[in-house]
């Protein structure tokens, strides 16, 4: 990553630092359209050093998509996702950060500095690794503990309760990277059958729920950071945050935390845990809303959420490891609901 002298000076000013001492590469962004790096800053006085995370995004017309979806639509969708993420950090993230909020809100990094141009974007964020050093990034081979899984579920419950009924100005009108309207190419290549035919109806069921909140939109395990105990958690990567029922985030999280065989045995109890935590969080954040009605509505959409995600995977990557027995079971349940 290369930062100009002007950019380094601007970051230091925003972060109360004096100099950028080190830029440590972390990883490239999706489809090679930028990179993440960690900055080490020297600060004035006795405060010593400070660590920040920089997300440098390059607007390119072509990307190196790992599954071959290198279309103009996919490039534009990804570019808009970064604009959404910046809007999230500028307009919404302050509600979840700050003194005294960590025990009450769903934790995410604070935005320190940002800039945009016709060529790309630069986001400089609080480095969560200082307090939340544990990450899982191995996909299907990740094995979080029950404590860590429940920490993520609590985060979702707090997030969904806090933003229930909130505006989506500058965010996705429908949250989640697999939304049908943004994935017509993937739908087109799906095999013919009941799931493909039901795609629009599944979408309407989710969108017409009277209780809409902000969903993270990519609430997979890799986007959570844990403290050493696993009891405290924060989330990153808000490119697909937008409107939706909380069941969509819950589904995506559970799809990523354990293999299919364990989902068949353990998912039901974890779903119940989510709704218990949601009930508590709704009492705190939305005391004037009937929490039982919210829970009933989102519970009825849990299988629908799985079927909607299955619809995306069936076109995008039909052999994906997440299309297991549990996914198929939930899809069948959703189709039965629609038939009924």
pLDDT at position 74: 83
146 & 290 share domain? yes
201 & 91 share domain? no
179 & 243 share domain? yes
113 & 214 share domain? no
How many structural domains does the chain have?
A: 2
Low-confidence stretches of the chain (pLDDT < 70) are 45-47, 61-70, 96-104
Structure confidence by residue, pLDDT tens digits, 263-290: 999 999 999 999 999 999 999 999 999 9
CB-based contacts of 182: which residues, under 8 Å, 6+ apart?
73, 77
69/53 Cα distance (integer angstroms) = 28
Q: Which residues pair with 57 in a beta bridge?
A: 34, 121
Name the domain boundary from 78, 106, 126.
126
180 & 102 share domain? no
Structure confidence by residue, pLDDT tens digits, 167-188: 999 999 999 999 999 999 999 9
pLDDT at position 157: 98
Distances, alpha carbon 61 to alpha carbons 58, 72, 74, 181, in Å: 10, 7, 10, 21
176 & 50 share domain? no
Name the domain boundary from 126, 141, 167.
126
9 & 63 share domain? yes
Range of the domain at 35: 1-126
300 & 224 share domain? yes
pLDDT at position 8: 94
pLDDT at position 28: 87
CA angle in degrees (0–180, nearest 5) for 264-266-272: 120
90 & 173 share domain? no
143 & 258 share domain? yes
pLDDT at position 114: 97
Query: Which CATH number covers residue 109?
Result: 3.30.200.20
73 & 149 share domain? no
């Amino acid at each position: 990553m290369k930062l100009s002298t002007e950019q380094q000076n601007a970051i230091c000013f925003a972060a109360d630092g004096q100099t950028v001492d080190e830029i440590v590469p972390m990883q490239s962004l999706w489809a090679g359209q930028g990179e993440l790096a960690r900055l080490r800053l020297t600060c004035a006085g006795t405060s010593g050093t400070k660590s920040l995370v920089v997300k440098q995004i390059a607007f390119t017309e072509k990307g190196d998509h790992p599954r071959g979806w290198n279309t103009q639509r996919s490039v534009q969708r990804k570019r808009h996702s970064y604009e959404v993420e910046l809007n999230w950090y500028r307009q919404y993230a302050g509600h979840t950060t700050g003194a005294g909020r960590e025990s009450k809100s769903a934790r995410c990094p604070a935005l320190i500095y940002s800039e945009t141009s016709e060529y790309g974007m630069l986001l400089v964020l609080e480095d969560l690794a200082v307090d939340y050093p544990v990450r899982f990034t191995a996909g299907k081979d990740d094995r979080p503990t029950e404590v860590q899984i429940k920490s993520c579920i609590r985060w979702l419950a707090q997030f969904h309760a806090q933003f229930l009924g909130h505006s989506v100005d500058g965010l996705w009108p429908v949250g989640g990277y697999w939304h049908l309207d943004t994935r017509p190419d993937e739908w087109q290549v799906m095999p013919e059958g009941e799931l493909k035919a039901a795609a629009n109806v599944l979408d309407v069921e989710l969108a017409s729920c009277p209780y809409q909140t902000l969903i993270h939109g990519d609430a997979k395990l890799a986007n959570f950071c844990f403290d050493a105990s696993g009891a405290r958690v924060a989330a990153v990567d808000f490119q697909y945050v937008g409107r939706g029922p909380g069941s969509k985030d819950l589904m995506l999280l559970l799809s990523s935390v354990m293999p299919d065989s364990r989902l068949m045995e353990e998912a039901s109890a974890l779903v119940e845990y989510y709704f218990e935590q949601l009930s508590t969080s709704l009492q705190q954040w939305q005391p004037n809303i009937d929490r039982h009605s919210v829970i009933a509505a989102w519970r009825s959409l849990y299988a629908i959420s799985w079927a909607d995600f299955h619809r995306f995977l069936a076109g995008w990557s039909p052999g994906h490891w997440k299309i297991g027995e549990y996914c198929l079971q939930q899809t069948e349940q959703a189709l039965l609901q629609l038939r009924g």
